[in-house]
């Protein structure tokens, strides 16, 4: 009897959470269609839109969310404010790559199709329904798996959040499992996790099938490899569109036929021309937007800070040197997680890419694991392994768990993008590697790593962003399991969480601002540089030439 009730409650919680996930995704798609349409019609808007999305995507927005949330709850308030805050929180995690995917789709609609639609004088809705929307479906559908995983991850976290001493909570599977765990009801927690796993695996499977179906139905052959680098940086989740969608077998069956990635001269020229035209204003606008974001954040910070006593200012500012040390520790953690994920990705990605059967089985498994939200199962994992791990690692135990949480919530991006890059290497390269008997190290160093460099940069940047998210959760997790608190000694994410916990909102605002400044600068100086370098020199598709 009790079990029946639990099952009902669990299912209800899962459905509630999933509907939040899908509301967010649908919201992203619908807004994406309209914004992309405006963007391709209006140059100025286009530049602003793209630069904004690029920066916001390469910045772990989620990590300085306390300050935005405070704003949300203070301004809108009430249960509505909380619900909206949750959705908004997740929205920002998934929206950028869906928007960019749609934009890229609209941007690459072949000229002749556009002309046809002009010819028949389709109105706005006609064009949307008959041309633009169908054309964007394959990309959207290929984006769905990572978007789903992302959204679920952050939703399970954000169903409970606290501002100051007040805890805000909405009912969902995240809160349900957290409650079970907190009450020591581990059987029920596991049981709920099991059901959740069934759902996530099933949904991942359905999304894969749908992606495959939609590529077959809506994909154009000519579109195939063409212009995934066309404009702006390449994005993991975006390039995911077709290749993930195709089954490994059908991809391999292409092995001997002529590769479809010849870009005709004319198209390439056109593209170059366009690139040159946009380059300069784009850079300036990009910087400008970075600054605008900082201004907005400063304003948010200001509203937060000014809502508290002004005398705290001097105290807050005096903490800055220590905050920077905190930040340095966090960067070290992020670097470590990124390195770990990278090694994992390279070896496993290579293994899968060279073994069709392992590939066929392994990649869906990894996808399902990635879609299974770490914040939901991590407390249990922690609880069940703590005594063993702490006996082995002693004082480094908590550090280990934080890194582990970061790793499980981020490895997927770099793995997936490297794997994708390897898959997309021209088949000629594989034949050359075999022909000239290159060993594993030569292959890696001379062909695979350079050849997948753009994918690696894109994947690493996603991994790094998510790693910040992981740290934000893991560095200070009070009462994670049976009264234990997971916390690190030094770390900016912890400092923010602690300040939040003590109701020191002014400090939260200040710390978030410092973090935002550093991260935006890092993104502009480092990530974008690497992207430019990758685009300039390491595009494997360009190594295969067709005059």
Spatial CA neighbour of 300 closest among 28, 109, 512, 523: 512
Shortest approach of other proteins to residue 403 CB, angstroms? 33
80 class by beta-carbon count within 10 Å (0-12 exposed, 13-18 middle, 19+ buried)? exposed
Q: Smallest distance, Å, CB 351 to other proteins?
A: 17
Among other proteins, ligand ATP, none, the one that 280 touches (CB under a kind-dependent 5 to 8 A) is none
| Nearest alpha carbon to residue 141 among 214, 230, 190 | 214
Compute the least distance from the CB of residue 211 to other proteins, in Å. Answer: 23
Spatial separation of the C-alpha atoms in residues 361 and 456, rounded to whole Å = 23
- Say whether residue 428 binds other proteins (CB under 8 A): yes
Q: Which of 19, 187, 216, 253 binds other proteins (CB under 8 A)?
A: 253
Among 450, 484, 518, 522, binds other proteins (CB under 8 A): 450
Q: Which lies closer to other proteins via its Cβ, residue 130 or residue 268?
A: 268
Q: By CB under 8 A, what part of segment 526-545 binds other proteins? A: 537-540, 542-545
Residue 481, phi then psi, degrees to nearest 5:
-155, 125
Site for ligand ATP, residues 114 to 133, rule: CB under 6 A: none
Which listed option, ligand ATP, other proteins, none, makes contact with residue 437 (CB within 5 to 8 Å by class)? other proteins
CA angle 5, 7, 11 (to 5 degrees): 120
Token pair 């204003």 is found at 281
Strand 476-481 with 484-487, pairing? antiparallel
Is residue 257 a contact residue for ligand ATP (CB under 6 A)? Answer: yes
Whichever of 415 and 453 has its CB closer to other proteins, that residue is 453
168, β-bridge pairs: 161
Residue nearest to ligand ATP (CB): 253
Q: Show the tokens assigned to 401.
A: 């768990």
* Nearest distance in Å: CB 179, ligand ATP: 53
Q: Determine the interface stretch with ligand ATP among 79-87, 139-147, 193-201, 251-259 (rule: CB under 6 A).
A: 251-259
Residues touching ligand ATP, count (CB under 6 A) = 3
The correct pick among 164, 288, 383, 426 for binding other proteins (CB under 8 A) is 426
Q: Which is nearer to ligand ATP, 165 or 257 (CB)?
A: 257
- Judged by beta carbon distances under 5 to 8 A according to partner kind, the member of ligand ATP, other proteins, none in contact with residue 124 is none
**Tokens found for residue 236:** 């993991």
Token representation of residue 520: 């935006």
Which residue from 1, 2, 5, 256 is in contact with ligand ATP, where contact means CB under 6 A?
256
Helix (H) or strand (E) holding 221: none
Of other proteins, ligand ATP, none, which one does residue 483 interact with (CB within 5 to 8 Å by kind)? none
Cα–Cα dist 86/59, whole Å: 19
Euclidean distance between CA atoms 509 and 194, whole angstroms: 38
Assign residue 105 a region (left: φ > 0; alpha: ψ between -120 and 50; beta: otherwise): alpha
253 binds ligand ATP (CB under 6 A): yes
Half-sphere exposure of 514 (CA within 13 A, CB side): 22
In angstroms, give the least distance from the CB of 253 to ligand ATP: 4
Q: What residue has token string 């293994």?
A: 351
Report the distance separating Cα 84 and Cα 69, nearest Å: 10
- Report long-range pairs for 32-36 (Cβ below 8 Å, ≥24 apart): 32/95, 32/98, 32/99, 32/101, 32/102, 32/103, 32/140, 33/102, 33/128, 33/132, 33/133, 33/136, 35/99, 35/103, 36/99, 36/102, 36/103, 36/105, 36/106, 36/132, 36/136
For 215-241, b/e burial (b = at least 16 CB within 10 A) is: beebbeeebbbbbbbebbbbbbbbbbb
Q: Which is nearer to other proteins, 420 or 534 (CB)?
A: 534
- CA–CA distance from 532 to each of 10, 231, 233, 305, 426 (Å)? 47, 11, 8, 38, 21
Least gap, CB of 533 to other proteins (angstroms): 10
**Stretch in the footprint of other proteins (CB under 8 A) among 8-16, 58-66, 166-174, 432-440:** 432-440
Question: CB of residue 256 vs ligand ATP: minimum separation in angstroms?
Answer: 4
In sequence order, what E strands does 156-250 have?
160-163, 166-169
CB of 265 to other proteins, least distance (A): 10
Query: Closer CB to ligand ATP, residue 261 or residue 344?
Result: 261
Judged by CB under 8 A, which of 316, 447, 486, 492 binds other proteins? 447
Question: Any contact of residue 431 with other proteins (CB under 8 A)?
Answer: yes
Sequence-distant (6+) residues with CB within 8 A of 424 are 225, 239, 243, 455, 540, 541
| Position among 186, 429, 522, 526 found at the interface with other proteins (CB under 8 A) | 429
CB of 255 to ligand ATP, least distance (A): 6
Identify the H or E element spanning 487.
strand 484-487
Work out whether 435 is an interface residue with other proteins (CB under 8 A): yes
d(CA 168, CA 63): 18
Window 262-301: residues binding other proteins (CB under 8 A): 262
Of residues 249 and 361, the one with the C-beta less far from ligand ATP: 249
Min. distance of Cβ 146 from ligand ATP in angstroms? 29
Closest CA to 345 of 363, 326, 361: 363
CB of 429 to ligand ATP, least distance (A): 18
In the complex, the smallest distance separating the C-beta of residue 257 from ligand ATP, rounded to whole angstroms, is 5
CB of 511 to ligand ATP, least distance (A): 56
Q: Determine if 546 is a binding residue for other proteins (CB under 8 A).
A: yes
When asked if residue 436 is in the footprint of other proteins (CB under 8 A), the reply is yes
Angle of CA points 451, 56, 478, to nearest 5°: 105
Decide: is 256 part of the binding site for other proteins (CB under 8 A). Answer: yes
Residues that bind ligand ATP (CB under 6 A): 253, 256-257
Residues that bind other proteins (CB under 8 A): 253, 256, 258-259, 262, 426, 428-429, 431-432, 434-439, 442, 446-447, 450-451, 453, 537-540, 542-547
């Amino acid at each position: 009897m009790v079990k029946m009730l639990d099952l009902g409650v669990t299912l209800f919680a899962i459905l509630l959470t999933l509907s939040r996930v899908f509301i967010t995704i649908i919201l992203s798609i619908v807004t994406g269609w309209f914004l992309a349409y405006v963007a391709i019609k209006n140059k100025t808007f286009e530049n602003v839109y793209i630069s904004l999305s690029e920066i916001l995507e390469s910045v772990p927005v989620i990590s300085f969310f306390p300050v935005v949330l405070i704003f949300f709850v203070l301004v809108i308030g009430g249960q509505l404010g909380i619900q909206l805050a949750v959705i908004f929180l997740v929205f920002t995690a998934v929206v950028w790559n869906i928007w960019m995917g749609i934009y890229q789709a609209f941007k690459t609609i072949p000229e002749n199709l556009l002309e046809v639609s002009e010819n028949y004088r389709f109105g706005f809705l006609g064009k949307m329904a008959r041309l633009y929307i169908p054309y964007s479906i394959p990309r959207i559908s290929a984006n769905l798996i990572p978007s789903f995983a992302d959204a679920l991850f952050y939703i399970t976290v954000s169903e409970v959040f606290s501002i100051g001493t007040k805890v805000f909570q909405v009912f969902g599977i995240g809160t349900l499992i957290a409650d079970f765990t907190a009450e020591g009801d581990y059987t029920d927690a596991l049981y709920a996790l099991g059901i959740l796993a069934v759902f996530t695996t099933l949904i991942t499977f359905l999304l894969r099938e749908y992606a495959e179906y939609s590529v077959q139905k809506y994909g154009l052959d000519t579109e195939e490899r063409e212009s995934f680098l066309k404009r702006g940086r390449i994005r993991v989740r975006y390039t995911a569109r077709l290749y993930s969608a195709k089954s490994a077998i059908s991809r391999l069956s292409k092995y001997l036929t002529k590769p479809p990635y010849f870009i005709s001269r004319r198209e390439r020229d056109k593209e170059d021309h366009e690139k040159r035209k946009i380059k300069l204003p784009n850079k300036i606008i990009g910087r400008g937007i970075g600054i605008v974001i900082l201004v907005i954040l400063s304003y948010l910070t200001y509203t937060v800070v000014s809502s508290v006593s002004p005398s705290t200012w001097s105290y807050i500012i005096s903490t800055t040197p220590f905050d920077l040390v905190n930040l340095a520790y966090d960067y070290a953690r992020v670097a470590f997680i990124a390195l770990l994920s990278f090694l994992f990705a390279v070896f496993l990605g290579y293994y899968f890419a060279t073994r069709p059967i392992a590939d066929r089985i392994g990649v869906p498994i990894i996808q399902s694991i990635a879609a299974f939200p770490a914040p939901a199962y991590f407390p249990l994992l922690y609880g069940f392994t703590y005594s063993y791990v702490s006996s082995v690692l002693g004082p480094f135990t908590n550090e280990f768990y934080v890194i582990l949480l970061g790793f499980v919530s981020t490895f997927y991006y770099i793995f997936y993008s490297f794997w994708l890059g390897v898959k997309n290497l021209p088949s000629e390269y594989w034949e050359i590697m075999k022909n000239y008997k290159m060993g594993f190290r030569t292959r890696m160093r001379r062909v695979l790593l350079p050849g997948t460099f753009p994918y690696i940069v894109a994947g690493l940047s996603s991994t790094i962003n998510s790693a910040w998210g992981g740290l934000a959760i893991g560095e200070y997790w009070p009462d994670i399991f049976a009264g234990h608190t997971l916390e690190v000694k030094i770390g900016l994410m912890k400092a923010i969480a602690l300040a939040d916990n003590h109701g020191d909102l002014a400090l939260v605002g200040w710390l978030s601002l410092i973090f935002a400044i550093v991260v935006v600068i890092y993104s502009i100086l480092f990530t974008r540089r690497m992207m430019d370098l990758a685009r300039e020199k390491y595009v494997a598709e360009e190594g295969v030439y067709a005059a």
